[in-house]
Chains A and B, each alone.
Chain A
């Protein structure tokens, strides 16, 4: 729990990140920031997908499936955004200390989740078409 709170404090306090190691070339810091922004756009796109699903998709044959898809996309978008900040802070720290960048399973996990979701929808559409 302490570790989690400390991590959250580091996100909001740039001086805290700055206290360790040496400042890297500013271009690397800006590139790290752009990577963060690309992840935020991924998160925002998932949120937009969730909002669009709720509003523009006709009700699906399985009860509440539309709402389930919508909420799943919204929560996934929120999770991507939180993870983006954490990743940014950890990368910044690693660059300052001259360490290897932190490895992450998250992109693979996200890809599998999105792939499974798409496969589920294909099945739903096919079932609907042959009914």
Chain B
């Protein structure tokens, strides 16, 4: 009991929150018990360890990433440039242009990497993506979308890997779920698809919409490339939909802003 009480008092003392009565109580416990004095030494060591943990620097590009993705209310000043301008720059003409391009379809290269449980650990999808996208280390996370519904958990990450853009989707579902990736308004098309954790039940690509159906733990990555008819005049949007038995579970949008797109376009 006195050990527990002493620890409580030591904890409050470390935060400068002891009353004079509590200070006297702690001093009395310390003077009477070698065990409490040992506890005080251990407590102080732990406090020191925590205080000495290094202050970490965030990745160098984090500030710029936040600034590039951040959307603020439209400025009142007439000369200000804001994210909301990007929405206005998506014109009907550019959307029609994208729609026309989808008619030609896209070259889909499926790099199916079967899981081989009898032959060692699961393959690392990052290595596999590395065969598609040189310099495959993630250089920046461009946008992120997560699903956390009952029975369906998923994270979709849009990443810049070197000069390439990769959409990496991990999903864990109890029921059969279809993930639809709509690239029509993105200016991108699919160059390659990699999957691991065993195959999906079906994979379809039509009009720049990729539909993948599966159950359980699945992961796939899509290497994207700029479509020939794209000028990246505004924000690029990739729409995601998660559905099961024809019922929409959740939808979202991944965005690439013009600053990032212009860098990719160089």
Question: Do A and B assemble together?
Answer: no
Q: Which residue numbers of B lie inside 8 Å of A, CB to CB?
A: none
